[in-house]
Amino acid sequence: MCNALGIITYNDSSVYVEGMQKYRPIAGFSFLGRYRLVDFAISNMSNSGIDDIQIYVNGNPRSLIDHVGTGRHYNINSKHGHLSLVPVYSEGGTSRFTTDISCYAENIHAVMENHNDYVVIAPVNMLYKGNYEELLKQHIESGAEVSVLYQHVDNAKENYIGCDVLQMNKQRGVLSIDQNLGNYKSRYLSLQTYIMSKEIFKTLVEEAQETSSMYWFKDILNDKCVDMDIRGLNYRGHIYVINDLKSYYESNMQFLTEEKMKDIADPEWPVYTRTSDSAPAIYLNGGTATGSLISNGCEISGVVKNSIVGRSCKIGKDALIENCIIMPDVEIADGAHLKNVIVDKHSRIAKKKDLAGLEEQPLYIGRRENV
Amino acid sequence: MKQNNMLAMILAGGRGTRLLELTKKNAKPAVYFGGKYRIIDFPLSNCANSDINVVGVLTQYESVELNAYAGAGQRWGLDARGSGVYVLPPREKDGTKFDVYQGTADAITQNIDFIDKFDPEYVLILSGDHIYKMDYADMLSCHKANNADCTIAVLPVPMKEASRFGIMNTDDEGRIVEFEEKPEHPKSNLASMGIYIFNWKQLRKELISDMTAEGSHHDFGKDIIPNFLNANKRLYAYKFEGYWKDVGTIDSLWEANMDLLNKNNELNLDDPNWKIYTEDIPTLPHYVGPTGKVEHCYINQGAIIRGEAVDSVLFNNVDIDEGAFVSQAVLMPNVKVGKGAKIYRAIVADGVKIDDGAVVGSPDSEEIVLISKRVKKGE
């Protein structure tokens, strides 16, 4: 048991994944063939013993309502535990710019009435194995008012653009939270994961509202760096940040190395998802795969190299799939050749097509398209 | 219970001795099949898909694992209000002496109180040993249309093999006129599948009289069905067409697994309208490493292949290391195959480790070997 309420939150408009986000919020993105991104955040909390979880979703929540359901598959106690999906709603207007603060304010009663004493806030677009029980312990021992998870990165010039970065003193006291504009290689990347008591959370939300209706949670934290004890907590494991199409592609691809694949396939720290009860994958004559992750329900008659293939895909005879992400329920016809392509769900690539993107700029095929 | 007023009882107490080590510590219905399933998933999923929502599972032999497995009814969606999978091992009752189930019929007799509680009109008797997909709701409609007292599912078998089965001889309307157990000169090729629908009131009466009948084996095939026939009750055959396999031996279990490698196999486990449900194990999709190669295989999620696998069925969390070669084999969950090891024509039981360089089976062998303990190099 972990004495915290879990909050899984969405990103501001600096994070936008071209193409994919048109169809669903980032939380609902298909990942590693059989998951949705939200599964990783929920599983972290569930594995940490957090039984009460709120998931804030900005964008069409349809796919997530279906996927998350009662939350039973996340191994959360089905009676005293509770998983709630909170769609961001804005009366008569677009919710695209609705801040996390306004959502928290709207639900502050549910937070305060919860029996846990702390809150753990985690973003849905950052994937890592976080043991919040352990981190909460460190937070309490440190005496800090707010703890922010961070990792030192030395490739911030090309990556993590628009993400939050921390300025810290030697005691890891946070001096400011800025946006990464790609000016420096070496930065302290914020994992946008915050731990604090419920009371401090409430105060921060209220003060943010008083300050500006445009304020996000990180903005009020940045303001408070001077008066409050806000400290960084170093996270040492692998992190994967999804903030555009390229990073989505690269994050997936990284799991094709055995070391990273095994790290996330940790039996002590499972990732839960909704099962579709499909049969094992079948390789028919001529079908083969190397360096790939292939989901159940697939029928492989062609050649798959260095790719991720989602549930219940059909790969036709003499088809060649290379460095691709094929989302669930896609059909690739006989003889089609694909390289560096992301194919969204339910699409169909017809005969004898040659589709190729660049490694740095993968080609994206939208949902339910017929190519 | 409301849906069709039929309750199912699965006879899952058999030892399955011909499966050798696979059933030494585990009942036959809990034996693994087809990359991700256990045998009992088939009758349970068939029940769920046929709108039967109360299922009793009669267990006896080495039942700890089976009881735990079957008791989790949500796996088959049988956990809504009024639904349930009830595990029923023999139990001590007031006024009778405690004893194991003496036969298939006795297993039901000892649970009359359980069935009465649901007050069903019909009871479906199933066995937990077979691989098949069947719509029991359709069988029930035939039972009703025939105004039958008992309906028995039958499978047409090749005439020359008929003498190995319990054979039903029927008239033109499908009414059973005679039942012969393993006849030397069979008159028909309709083999009983051990699947019966009874009107509960009639079966109940028969079971109570069978309980004290002298010389009775307390068995459906040997006692209850013949008694029903002698009493001139209306018994009908329900002809089943499709895939059905008794996986009672190592050879037949291996064959049934190999059948899945054929795309047009009759069983079709990926039919979205008749899914077979099973335990949900959280694992990644299966991973074929840069040095791995797979050809003509049936592979469940969680498997890791760095070596080569051909014509094989691989369960979850199987791990095949570099340079290993696996051919015409069934590797059950958590089997580890070491570097350079070779496996031919074999079933490897769950959790078994094949050491680096070890060789199991032979490519030209007629026989299928069962490997149930660690194999070292040179063994």
Q: Alpha carbon of A330 to those of A186, A303, A315, B356: distances in Å?
A: 40, 15, 8, 38
Give the Cα separation of A82 and A78 in Å (integer). 7
CB A95 within 8 A of CB A196: no
Residue B209: CB atoms within 10 Å: 10
- Say how far residue A205 (Cα) sits from the centre of its chain: 23
pLDDT of res. B180: 92
State the average pLDDT over residues A31-55: 96
Residue with tokens 């959360």: A76
Is the pLDDT at A95 greater than 80? The verdict is no
For B20, half-sphere exposure in the C-beta direction (CA atoms, 13 angstrom radius) is: 15
Name the nearest CA neighbour of B257 among B269, B242, B241.
B269
Of A261, A281, A284, the CB nearest to B296: A284
Name the nearest CA neighbour of B329 among B353, B308, B347.
B347
ipTM of this complex: 0.93
Is the pLDDT at A103 greater than 90? The verdict is yes
**A266 close to B (CB below 8 A):** no
* Residue B112, token pair as written in the block: 């009359």
Of B270, B276, B293, the CB nearest to A290: B293
What are the residue ranges in chain B where pLDDT is below 70?
A: 1-3
Write out the H or E segment, with its range, that includes residue B86.
strand B84-87
Q: What is the pLDDT of residues A166-199, one digit of tens each?
A: 999 999 999 999 999 999 999 999 999 999 999 9
CB A242 within 8 A of CB A37: yes
Look at residue B344 and give its three-state secondary structure: strand
Percent of chain A with pLDDT over 90: 87
Query: What is the amino acid identity at position B183?
Result: P
Local structure of residue A26 (DSSP, 8 states): G
Helical H runs in B170-306?
A: 200-212, 225-230, 250-259
- Say how far residue A172 (Cα) sits from the centre of its chain: 26
For B250, half-sphere exposure in the C-beta direction (CA atoms, 13 angstrom radius) is: 20
Backbone region of residue B13 per phi and psi (left: phi > 0; alpha: psi in -120 to 50; beta: other values): alpha
Give the Cα separation of A324 and A344 in Å (integer). 11
Give the Cα separation of A241 and A125 in Å (integer). 6
Pairs of residues, one from chain A and one from chain B, whose beta carbons lie less than 8 Å apart? 110
Cβ contacts of A277 on chain B, cutoff 8 Å: 275-278
CB B7 within 8 A of CB B118: yes
Chain A stretch 13-32, residues whose beta carbon is closer than 8 A to a beta carbon of chain B:
32
Q: Alpha carbon of A157 to those of A247, A249, A341, B295: distances in Å?
A: 14, 18, 25, 43
What are φ and ψ of residue A367, in 5° steps? -70, 140
Mean pLDDT of chain A: 94
Beta strand B190-199 pairing with B150-156 = antiparallel
Strand ranges in A208-267 using DSSP code E only, listed in sequence order: 230-234, 240-241
Residue with tokens 């170093």: A234
Which of A10-19, A113-122, A257-266 has the least mean pLDDT? A10-19
Cβ contacts of B73 on chain A, cutoff 8 Å: none
pLDDT of res. B61: 86
Chain A residue with the nearest C-alpha to that of B261: A282
Query: What is the amino acid identity at position B291?
Result: T
Residue with tokens 């000169």: B185
Give the Cα separation of A37 and A101 in Å (integer). 22
Give the Cα separation of B126 and B179 in Å (integer). 18
Give the Cα separation of B205 and B211 in Å (integer). 10
Mutate to test the interface with A, among B287, B298, B314, B315 (most CBs of A within 10 A): B287
CA distance B245 to chain A (A): 18
Chain A residue with the nearest C-alpha to that of B77: A277
- Binary contact (B299, A280; C-beta < 8 A): yes
pLDDT of res. B115: 97
CA distance B285 to chain A (A): 4
